[in-house]
Structure formats: structure tokens, C-alpha cells
Structure 1
């Protein structure tokens, strides 16, 4: 006979089992529970009245009993077997409570659900990482200035543009260089041409190739 059982993650015995184990009438155990001199709070926490149906489909009342409630109830029970069964009850409660603490093996369905949940969480994490990377890439793109090769190319185009239009205006080469650099800085919000943003390189080249001075 199982002395204890699990219900909703908690370990119980019941008044029917107590009556059978200690050789008492169930009605007497029920009376003992009702007459216990304990606080109302203790009673409600350790004794839960419920209905059950017997073999003839008749409905009766019994109590679900927790560990502390059992100890309080059977404290005064005596007899040749009373001490033995008190000890067995304690062992049964301890064993069942230890069993509940062990990690529960997942069923195939639970494993599948756990796997799907993990996959969803991983997908969400990857999505967040990609989003963060996109933000970083955008920030880097916004901050990176021309590399050395691009600087040389832009410098060459500036020189080439000045040389190509120097005879079209009554301005010295120095004045042309001064204007093109000044206009380029304003157009691309850069203190010097070497600080033009890398993302604006192609636009800057086109700008230089079509630049004309103010006269």
C-alpha cells in the first residue's frame, strides 16, 4: 500500500489511508481531525476536505493530509504497530519529497516543445544580434573617412580639375585650389578633403569633376 501520493506537486496522505494503517475506523479519524486543538491557519494549511466515490459509486468525505498535519494527528496514536507506522510514514514523506526534487525526465512531446522553444529563443537572439550589427555597420559607415587610396584618388581629381579649367577663368591656380577645397569642405561637412566620409567618396569624385569656381 502506498502511504503517500503526489497531487499538484505536493506530497499528501489521506484520512482513509491513516485509518487503514493505524487500524481505526475512518469516521474516528475524521472526528480526530475535526477535534484537533490546532490553529485554524494550521488546520487549513495541512488538512483539505474533499469528496471521493467508493466502489458502489457512493460519495463520501475524506481529508487530504500534509506531513505536518499527519504528525499532529497521529502524535497520540498508540499501540504495538503505531510507532512502526509513524516511522514508515516519515520515511514515505521524505522519500517522495526527495523524488520530487529530482530533475524530471521529459517526455518526447515535452522534449519537442523545449527544443522548439529553444529554437525560437535562439532565432530571436540571432535576430537581435543581426539588428545590432546593422546598427554598428551603419554607425561605422557614418563615421569612417577616406582610406589612403581614396584620399590619393580625390587629391588627383582635384588637381586634374584645376588644371583642366585654369585657362577658363581669370583666377590663379592658387585661388582655384583655395576655392575648390573651401567648397568641398562645405559640401561634405569635412574640415579637410581627407576627412570626407568613405560613404560619400563616389559623390565627392563626381562633385570635383563638375566643380566650377565662383567669380
Structure 2
């Protein structure tokens, strides 16, 4: 079907420019006089037509109207001319094509695709917002340092607990402290050298246990205070060794 005039899709319906239809129908009366007279046939603004200012081509913008196809058909019939009848038949064909099952399905798919793209865009924006919020939460909640962990604990701990902070065994930690002249082994117990013994780094406890021989035996265990724990932390850190909690993921 040959296009006789530009058809626009506006606000959910097909429309045509009033001025363009006026020129196409070759109406002799000026548009500013013709259109008000046509309105007297009962056409309702914002139902059958809407007003707007057409783009300027050098002069002042002109008043124009977006006409529904139903109104355009009636205006063509009111002209009582051969060209008016041709345009009316053209608009009937336009409506038939517009309302065909194929066209309806195509419009529905187009709308569905538009909504899908909009949802994708909204989801992407939401994901970005959540990522930013997570980053802000991370920034407001700094990673707990080893010092924070130690200062929040007041208990005495065995060397095995401190060693575990570094992923070490108690044997490895004791050997490290021995190699750095912090402690020495006396029988089965580790004791601090004199320069460290009076700093409150350790506390020894004696336990009585019942032996297989039926007699009680004394066992001495060395425990580290939190001050001693921080001393070991500083000692290891000077060698570039940090606890697991402060290592990067």
C-alpha cells in the first residue's frame, strides 16, 4: 500500500497532522479558519485530537493538531471530493493493517521486549547500588586487627593458642622464641630469660595429677598473658611474620 501521508504513533494510537492532511486534501480555505469550522462537527479535544506547535522553518511556530485516524476519515468524507474519498479509503486500510492479528502480536512483542530491557537496566542499577553499599559497609567496618583481638581478651593462653594464630604448631613457636633468645627449656618446661621474666609476659601454674603409681605428681605449665602475646606479635612482625587474621585473603 502506497503511503499518502505520514502516520505517527502517539499515546497508544495512530495520528496524522491536521496541517498535513489539510494540504493533502487541497483545501482552499486557510487552515486557521478551516480547522475551527471542522471542530463544529462535534470533535472533542484530547479525545479526537490534541493541539501542539509545529516546528518552525524560519518563522514563528504554527498551531497544529494531532488527529485520530477516525477523525481524519470523517474530515475526508466531509470534503465531498474525489481526493477526500481516496484518503478515506487509505485511512481504512491503515486501520485494517494496524488491527490485523500479525500487527497486534508484533506490537505486543515489541512492548514485552521494551519492558524486558527496562527490567534488565533496573536490575543492573540495583546490582550496582548493592555493590556500592557493600563497599561502603566494608569501609565503615574495618577489618579487626590482631591487636584488637588481643586487647579484647583478658585470659591466660598456652603457647599452642598463640601459635595457632599464625598457623604454626606449638613446637615451632617455642623453637622460634628459643632461637631469638626469649626463652630456654628447663627439663620439660619453657622459661623466659631474665630480661623478659619480670615483664609480666608469662604466668606459670602448678597442677597436681594422680599418677599410675597411685601418688600425686606436680606438673608446671607456662601460660602467656595478653601482654606477652603482643610481645610475640611485635617480635614476629619485625621478621615480617603476621598473624592469619591480618594476612590478605
Query: Normalising by structure 1, what TM-score?
Result: 0.43
Query: Normalising by structure 2, what TM-score?
Result: 0.38
More strand by share: 2
Q: Which has the higher contact order (CA 8 A, sep 6+)?
A: 1
More helix by share: 1
